[in-house]
Chains A and B, each alone.
Chain A
Amino acid sequence: MEQLIQQVASGLANGAIYACLALALVMIFVSTDHINFAQGELAMFSAYLVWQALEWGMSFWLALPVVALFSFLIGVGIERVILRPLHHAPVLSVVVVFIGLLAIFHSLAGAIWGHTIKAIPSPFPHFTFVGSGYIGPHQIGMIVVTVMLLVALFAFFRFTPLGLAMRAAAQNPASARLAGIRVDWMLALGWGLAAAIGAVAGSLVAPAVYLEPNMMASILLYGFAGALVGGISSPGGAVAGGFIVGVLENLIAYLGNLLEKTTGVYVIGNGEKLTVALIIVITVLTLKPSGLFGQVSVKRV
């Protein structure tokens, strides 16, 4: 039982990271209808920037907003410079550009900071509390930051004119232009927000794993699975989906271990966690493409 609680708790903590990345994916998807395959590498790059800032003597809580802002500008820049000429290009061209971006940021990180692993210390203070045995302070911190991020984004999209304009531009660009909204800039803003969210995800995951150019490869897959489970068009759904995937992968591995212990038959274990994520992706796409919380828009014709 104790082990089960522990698995769920650590699943939630991993889920927080997947949720962050899923949120970044959704952000770009709702504003441009594309899945940004380079999202993970961008987050990794931002994590390196945080590491660099720490090396220069900045504190983590100063480095994070600075890097998030810088990543925001990188995101805006990518949209304005690289993707803008492709606004009317077929989706396949855009996908190729995303894969190119993935390769570029991957190599860039390796070239600047090297391929040896680096450590970022956890920014959260060590403290003991009820349940300390199940979940560490960094894990709790990740969950809290993710939830705060979601609440802030929700408030932004729901209650600010700019957030409303971004939603309108994403949903009906032609009509948004007729309302005087600069749709191109709204897309760039979406990219910037996604990059900033990715920066938060990257710098939270780095202390939990180690910082190296490959660190986001599998996490992006989980984030993608989370976004799909929750509904790729729904920010809240993406966060829920991230948590669901995090808990699910741990539970399935746990059950696999339990099964092996009692029957001696090895079906599934820790090694197959990534497979679980892929199975989740396929299952969701087959059975419920709009995800658990994805909006199926009602339209009267």
Chain B
Amino acid sequence: MAALLEAHGLKAFYGQTQALHDVSFSLQPGGITTLLGANGAGKTTTLRCICGMVRTEGSIKLDGQPIAGKATEDIIRLGVGHVPEGRGTFTNLSVGENLRVAAYTRKDKVAAERDLGMVFDYFPILKARVHQQAGTLSGGEQQMLAISRALMLSPRLMLLDEPSFGLAPLIVQEIFRIMRRINSEAKVSMLLVEQNAALALELADHAYVLETGRVVMSGKAADVKNNEAIRKSYLGY
């Protein structure tokens, strides 16, 4: 099966500082792949590379089409939904406006309306708060809103940057349960970055482990989970 996303020899730079040295990975369509690693390993940077948000060398292909060097908004328009670190809420806009902004590039307004219904089905709380200023939502609700904004793009691939960050365990469980539903029902492939390795390996089918900007191991999620050496040295549990 052809890879949905294929990255080869990624290097990334913040000014003079090199954050990624040689990262390669590939994503099968339909699956959930997770990038694991400690703080500063380059997980967030890898996602930012895919979306053209950081100076990058190396090749990135989406469905065989090279996307490295393209502008962020053009990559997004190819069907990549990015749920960013820090959730990226439009705090002064209402919840409904946040969702409508995300559908800005959609040509088919009927389909966008249908997706809005789907989003409200996944996250009923957002429907209840549709007129509320988004900055007043709780952290968990803002995370739901961030995922929903990505969904409103009708993406093929969703990049999720630590959706569990700073949230209560019960909320995290709910969000991960819905992510699984989105993956299977809406047929959205996912690349998930997580610090919470146990949780991510539970959800994902494939895993890559990063350390200081390099891939140190990869494989089926189950294999990574069962490899005690890896778990102890890289994942810390």
Q: Assess the A175–B90 pair: CB atoms within 8 A.
A: yes
| Stretch of B23-31, B130-138, B201-209 contacting A (4+ beta carbons < 8 Å) | B130-138
What is the interface size of chain B, counting residues whose CB is below 8 A from a CB of the partner? 30
Q: Assess the B72–A178 pair: CB atoms within 8 A.
A: yes
| Stretch of B59-67, B96-104, B177-185 contacting A (4+ beta carbons < 8 Å) | B96-104
| Stretch of B3-11, B81-89, B113-121, B227-235 contacting A (4+ beta carbons < 8 Å) | B81-89
Q: Assess the B153–A179 pair: CB atoms within 8 A.
A: yes
Interface residues of B in 19-54 (CB under 8 A from A): 51, 53
| A174 interface hit (Cβ, 8 Å) | yes
- Bound CA span A299–B93, Å: 12
Which A residues are in CB contact (< 8 Å) with B93? 164, 167-168, 171
- Bound CA span A174–B146, Å: 13
| B223 interface hit (Cβ, 8 Å) | no
Q: Assess the B135–A175 pair: CB atoms within 8 A.
A: no
Which B residues are in CB contact (< 8 Å) with A299? 91, 135
Interface residues of A in 164-221 (CB under 8 A from B): 164-165, 167-168, 171-172, 174-183
- Bound CA span A295–B102, Å: 23
Which B residues are in CB contact (< 8 Å) with A3? none
Most interface-central of B53, B72, B97, B138 (chain A CB within 10 A): B72
Output the nearest chain A residue to B150 by Cβ-Cβ distance: A178
Interface residues of A in 60-96 (CB under 8 A from B): none
Q: Knowing A164-B104, A165-B104, A299-B91 touch, does A179 contact B136 (C-beta < 8 A)?
A: no
| A300 interface hit (Cβ, 8 Å) | yes
Interchain Cβ contacts within 8 Å, total number: 82
Q: Knowing A174-B88, A175-B84, A297-B91 touch, does A164 contact B105 (C-beta < 8 A)?
A: no
Give the Cβ gap from A112 to chain B, nearest Cβ, in Å: 38
| A133 interface hit (Cβ, 8 Å) | no
Q: Knowing A164-B97, A298-B133, A300-B135 touch, does A180 contact B91 (C-beta < 8 A)?
A: no
Q: Assess the A177–B92 pair: CB atoms within 8 A.
A: no
Which B residues are in CB contact (< 8 Å) with A183? 73
- Bound CA span A180–B72, Å: 7
Q: Assess the A182–B90 pair: CB atoms within 8 A.
A: no
Give the Cβ gap from A237 to chain B, nearest Cβ, in Å: 14
Please, what's the 1-or-0 string for B216-232, where 1 marks a CB less than 8 Å from any CB in chain A? 00000000000000000
| A161 interface hit (Cβ, 8 Å) | yes
Q: Assess the A172–B76 pair: CB atoms within 8 A.
A: no
| B129 interface hit (Cβ, 8 Å) | no
Give the Cβ gap from A165 to chain B, nearest Cβ, in Å: 5
Which B residues are in CB contact (< 8 Å) with A181? 73, 101, 104-105
Q: Assess the B73–A172 pair: CB atoms within 8 A.
A: no
Which B residues are in CB contact (< 8 Å) with A168? 90, 93, 97, 101, 104
Q: Assess the A179–B84 pair: CB atoms within 8 A.
A: no
Q: Assess the B76–A165 pair: CB atoms within 8 A.
A: no
Q: Knowing A171-B93, A298-B133, A300-B135 touch, does A178 contact B88 (C-beta < 8 A)?
A: yes
With A171-B92, A174-B53, A181-B101 already in contact, 12 other A-B pairs whose C-beta atoms are closer than 8 Å: A165-B101, A168-B97, A171-B91, A172-B90, A177-B72, A178-B51, A178-B150, A179-B102, A180-B73, A183-B73, A298-B136, A300-B138
A interface with B by C-beta (< 8 Å): 161, 164-165, 167-168, 171-172, 174-183, 295, 297-300
B interface with A by C-beta (< 8 Å): 51, 53, 71-73, 76-77, 82, 84, 88-93, 97, 100-102, 104-105, 133, 135-139, 149-150, 153
List the 9 closest A-B pairs by CB distance, nearest first: A175-B88, A180-B105, A180-B76, A177-B72, A168-B101, A179-B102, A299-B135, A178-B82, A180-B77
- A-B contact list, 22 entries, CB within 8 Å: A164-B101, A165-B101, A167-B97, A168-B90, A171-B90, A171-B92, A174-B53, A174-B88, A175-B89, A175-B149, A177-B73, A177-B76, A178-B82, A178-B88, A179-B102, A181-B104, A181-B105, A298-B133, A299-B135, A300-B136, A300-B137, A300-B138
